[in-house]
Structure 1
Amino acid sequence: MESPLATTLGTRMSAYLITSNDFKKQRQKINKQIKNLRHELNLINHDSKKYKVVKFTKDQYQSNKNYGLIYLLLAERDFLYGLEMKNILEIDDIKSKSKSKSNSNSKLHKNYKKLLITKFKRSLIHAKELLDLTNEESINDIKVELFVYTALIIDYLYNTHNNNNNNNNNNGEDENNDDDEEEADSFNKTLFNELIETLVDPSLNLAISQLEIHSTTDLKSIARKHCHDNEVPYLTPVLNLIDSKYTTTAENIANEDNFEISKQVNWRDHSAYIYNDEVALKISYLNNNIHWDKSNDINQFDSIITQWNEILSLHKSDTERNQDDDDLEQVQNRAILLTYINYNLLFTTLKRDLLLIGQLAKIDDNKDIIRLFNGILVIVQNLKDLPGVYNDEDLYDSLDNLEKFFIAQKNQVIAESYQFNSQFAESLKIYQFINQEISNATTTTKQGSSSFYKTDFPFNISTNEQIAIFKNDITKKILQNQISAQFEQSKVISSSPYTIENLNKYPKGLTTIINLNKIEPMMCKPVLFDVAFNYISYDSTKQTTTNTATTTPVETSSPDVDETIDNENSKKRGFFGIFGRR
């Protein structure tokens, strides 16, 4: 058997049943499903004289879940019949306000109401039979949903009888059952939300008003308080199927963990009453048990942030469902509490990011540090945009200066990067800008002391003492970079702009060389020297004469030899032999 609530309420919700005719058509569809199931299980008896009401056993259910589905559809069919009569009665009531009631109409009205109660009772009988049949069901979700469905039938039945005492208890269990289904799929989640908003909450509010319960708390807390009253014994076993955190009151949880629940919070000069017990429990747990604003362990911050997010989500949903816009005091209390939660959540996130920056600073990961500072600046801006902050002059000015301080720290990281790369002039400009901004934001009190912040922050995120230390550090950095920049300038002046002593390093004064990736020596091409070598003249006559003198006597040169020498000399005229000589 699939989800009982999806089979009944889910199908009903998807069909958009509005008029009595819509309920009738849906009831007829259920009849067809029951008929088909009976055929499938061979439960059809054509001999009407021998007809007997068949009761299914647990063994039959364990062998085939459709036996349980028949009981569920029988309960839904009678329930739809009752809703059909209820719709007719509501229309009849509207008509009776505009026209006088006749005796026949009054009698018909009573018959409809009697039929309505009868159908709800029959539906409850089938639901109780189904609870007995599924007593050994292994899937707890199915058992819980069957208890919810049965409680809804009881709720409708007792509403008809105006017995609101039991109504309070039944819906209390109903509310807790729906809390236990929070992790269902999207369709079931929509179904449960619709169930709570349209059926459970209105019935609880009606019960509270008629029982004269002073509603200083939320409906969920009232449901947790009364779900153990045991007004309907056959619904009590469902409490054993639900996690105790959904059925235990906030006071009992606080007593088990040894801390007190505070129903009031203070933020700045404002105080707010907490209407939701669960919100008060979670805030008191963070304040009194964890001491969230004293923590410096980065491993704890994800858990603390998650808890603040849960409180924020819970408060928003409670405000949407339970806020009375006509009660100005309640509206103001809820608004102050919302700012209080957001304020603490944002500062917790900010503290975690600062601790991450401290870890990254140890490994010189400036890129990620700058990214985190950008996120911190967004957080500070969100703090400034919170309701009530702008009207608090001291807080707003302090947050404004806190933003300037984080901008200065971000710029300091950039300046250190320039300084690391020996760009001292650029680093010096940034440090001077930081010093000017911090000095302009610092004010002098009447006692003569300097004040950067007018209020304290959670976690001591930043204090006036830290600002004084930061200013002294910036002053030292300015002096260091002034000396380093002057030294670098003197090195540039003394170096020749034309001498390259190292292939990987050259003087900074060379402004005409741009974008040189690598300087390498180039092999000279010997073509020019080859051509010149061909035109080097040697005195061949002297060498010949010397050699001849050592061997033979001197002879007069013949005319043929002289003519040959003249011809050779005439060929070597001009520039490299290209142009002739005149």
Structure 2
Amino acid sequence: MGAYSPLLATYGVRVDQLLETAQDFVRYHEKLNKKLQKLRHKCQLTTRDTKKYQAKERYSKLTSEDYDENSKLYGVVVLLHAERDLALAEILKLRARQRGKLKKSERKVIGTRLKRAMQTSEKLAVLTKNEPQWTTRVQYLVYDKLARAEYLTHGKQQRHKDSKKISKELALSFAALKYLEKNSVITDSVVEFLHAKYEYTLKQHADRAFSSSELHNFVVEKVEQAHQDGDEMVKLLVENGFKPQKQASEAGTSFKEIQWRAFTAKVYDPQVEELIAESKSVTVKGASDYDTKLLKWQQALEKQELRIASQDEDEEDEADNQENDQILLAYIRYNALFTSVLRDNYLFGQLWQQWTKLGTAMATRLTKCKEIERIVKNLQKYLQDIMELPGVYQDDELMEQLEISKLYFQLSYTSGCLGGLYQLKGRYLESLALHVDAHHKLEEKLTEVGEFRDILIPLEVLSNKKIESLQQLIKAGWKSVVSLAEYEKHLKAQGQTPFQSTLIEKLDTGRITPSDIKLSNIFPLRPKLSPVPSKPTLFDLAFNYMDYANEDSGSVSSWTTQKSESVPPSNNGDDNNNSTSRKRGFLGLFGR
């Protein structure tokens, strides 16, 4: 049995469950509450005596001796308490991001919860100080540093953040994560998740660390400084074989002259040449490396535009120099746009892998579908901008491949995502229409273009293998839905008459056909109707007091006879005298 991994028990669960929306974190928060209830009961940390709760409560009085001698589960309980507070803070941040702003009450709760999570993680670090497994101890310390960085970044309400502390905590955490991944203690997906979550924050608070090599060297500097200061986590890493080494800045190849398609241009500005060399030398391993590369191309583009704007008009060979600078400017724009395409293509691949692993929950699939749609729109925009560049729209072969790339991303979204959503929702005809339309568009474009003699754009964006995989995806999509669509069409053609007998009612007749089997017409749910009089309420009230025409018209009902006999005869004379002798009051309204 391997050692316990605190990072896999917290951030690893987030990665496995694809926690992205606020609702996902709400469910995660509920699961943490249930786990904590069971663990507190198992560790006998529950106190039912509310009158003497402070005296009998044990959770706040846990020490490292309890962790060493009694149970290691005490550390898990404290860890999940901190994770629960972090999960609640994530819920509020995601709701605010969806709303567009953070409420004052939410900001206060986030600060309180993150501060409590930081205090709990500090308690966890003290509780597990004698942990014999160095990997587990290092992960507890990494979790503590990440919780502290989270509080300093989002919880502490200050205009000027403590960049020195934030960058130090994140740099040491990144170094430990990289070494733990190298030793197969944690998975690469967890490391990628944490890098994607905190790398931008580290670059924001680090001093001039923009490229991946600069960021690596900054992390190494912080590790060396912490080792000199006697940091426990760095000491454990060094004792177990960790050797931080700086990356030497590679001397870029000289780019005095560039060759781009049928054009040749010279680079006169040394700063532009240096930036082009740096962008070419960036090793791409993830989305952050694409951002670094794009930053270099953007800087080179700004320098070249500034050179063109400030060019001396009296310079000799003005026309040749202007043409040379315009070619170089188009080349830089082309590479900058294609770097954006490659970055979004990488994100598209990551989202597509997550899409294939999703379940049948409609809310989760809709959220992921919207993310894929946004990436596809960005890709199409970048590809269209490339097609409009001078030197590109005259190249027919390059234009055809760019159009196929646009079509590839569009059909992947419509057939792979929208087709699946319509099928999941039971709209099989619409799903089949999307698959068939995607098949026709792709076949028409491939017939128009023909075979590729040479692919002129990066293979990550377009290749024969990717086109074949798209064709297989479309065919698999329509094969999975064609029978259901045919059945739906058959049902719509026949329809259901208002008084059609249900399936249960037809069991005795023995005339049941496959077309009679419908989920909406199995049981007789319609009410049975019978004719009623026009005024049923009045008829019911007067039923016992009415005579009908077929009876003796001269006879009087017994009830009427009894009623008349029971009433005594009245003295009409006395009544008249009383009425005449009564005096009328004021205006004849009030009697006396």
TM-score normalized by the length of structure 2: 0.41
